[in-house]
Amino acid sequence: MMMKTRCARLAPMAAVLGAMAVSLTAAAVDECVPGWIPDVGPIGPDSGLAGGMAYHDDGNGSEVFIGGSFTTIGGAAAPRIVKVQRDKFDELEFIPLGSGLSNAECYALASFQGSLYAAGYFDLAGGVPGTAKLARWDGQAWNSIGAQLELFSNQLWGLTVWNSGQGDNLYIAGNFQNIGGTSASYIARYDGKSFHALGSTPIAGNVPLIIFTSHVHDDGTGPALYVGGRFTSIDGVAASRIARWNGTSWEQWGGGANNTVFNALRIAEPSGDILALAGQFTTIGTDTRNRIAAFEGCPEVVSTPGDLNGDGVVNGGDITILLAAWGTADAAADLNGDGIVNASDLTALLGFWG
């Protein structure tokens, strides 16, 4: 009897402990502890630097590609460029892209029209003639795109893909005045077949004249390509070290910087994108900024036709405003633009109702 009574008392306790164990296990599963991925980095380039990075699908799924000045990574030969993926055992493996890049560095990578583009200061890609400083990897082999950047001074720093209304194009930034036989001042657009200049007047400023960075950003006035470097004017437009290309022309932006802009980063925020800059400057526009700065634009305001009080919906409040302006030439309430607020405007407002 005693044993039976004891078991009866222990049974509910066991159930409680079991429930607690399940609860604790669930909590442990749900809890996320942020941190660096353990196996990314301890095995990396054996020397030199890692520079350009891109996420690209070479026909076998999207993976990370890394360029730099290294010649081996994880003990495997991969001259200056490598594909990083996980094998069937979830272990990192490093796959060279053919025989890689010859000499110096790869600073930028970009995925464009199904191929991976590499840019930098290298002499050749895969030993293929015509691949100095800029080359295309098609998933199997290196290809020349006819950039003809053979001069010692030619060097590329930035690759950016952007659609300005002409479809996706590859924007190439660096130190050059001619690319693929096209006169282009330190930045050019490549449509997959031909190179195009952005403007007609060479950039001016402190030698060496270089565009170091290019990023797509929307400061609230619409998407544009922002570039930073050592220039003080671009296509005849006074623009000190930073400028934007709106798809058809160059514009001065942000008041300029008093010294080189090396890099830019677009930061997406719910209230609007921020463009962060880094370089050697100490002022941006008229503001003191010690080598780093961030610009926050105004979000685009989308108006609703007939929303006279600006509350985002057309309702009785807007009718009240329209009736108060009845018979006048009030521009806001004159929805059809005929110079007078009347029944036609009321009909138009009702058409926008809700």
Would you say 240 and 256 are in contact if contact means Cβ atoms under 8 Å apart? Answer: yes
Task: Give the per-residue pLDDT at 150.
Answer: 93
The strand order across the sheet containing 274-279 reads 261-267, 274-279, 292-296
- The predicted model gives 224-252 an average pLDDT of 93
Reference 67, options 137, 129, 130, 168; nearest CA is 137
**What whole-number percentage of the chain has pLDDT above 70?**
89
Task: Give the per-residue pLDDT at 17.
Answer: 37
pLDDT tens-digit series, residues 35-60 = 888 877 777 888 888 889 999 999 98
Residues of the chain with CATH 2.130.10: 50-296
CA distance 47 to 261: 27
What is the reported pTM? 0.74
pLDDT tens-digit series, residues 78-105 = 999 999 988 888 888 999 999 999 999 9
What would you measure as the largest C-alpha separation in the chain, in angstroms? Answer: 103
- Mean per-residue pLDDT over the chain, rounded: 86
Q: How many helices (H) and strands (E) does the chain have?
A: 3, 30
**Region for residue 113 given its phi and psi (left: phi exceeds 0; alpha: psi -120 to 50; beta: otherwise):** left
DSSP states of 157-205: EEEEEEESSSSEEEEEEEE-SEETTEE-SSEEEE-SS-EEESSSSPPEE
CA distance 94 to 46: 12
Residue that the structure tokens 């098609």 belong to? 138
Q: Does 122 or 31 have the greater pLDDT score?
A: 122
Q: Which of the listed CATH numbers 2.60.40, 1.10.3470, 2.130.10, 3.40.1350 matches domain 50-296?
A: 2.130.10
Judged against a pLDDT cut of 60, whether residue 14 lies above it is answered with: no
CA distance 119 to 150: 13
303-354 is a CATH 1.10.1330.10 domain? yes
Judged against a pLDDT cut of 60, whether residue 151 lies above it is answered with: yes
Number of neighbours of residue 122 by Cβ within 10 angstroms: 26
Task: Give the per-residue pLDDT at 21.
Answer: 44
pLDDT tens-digit series, residues 170-200 = 999 999 999 999 999 999 999 999 999 998 8
Residues of the chain with CATH 1.10.1330.10: 303-354
pLDDT tens-digit series, residues 262-283 = 988 888 777 778 888 999 999 9
Judged against a pLDDT cut of 70, whether residue 300 lies above it is answered with: no
The helix, strand and coil proportions of the chain, stated in percent and rounded to the nearest 5, come to: 15, 40, 50
Task: Give the per-residue pLDDT at 51.
Answer: 87
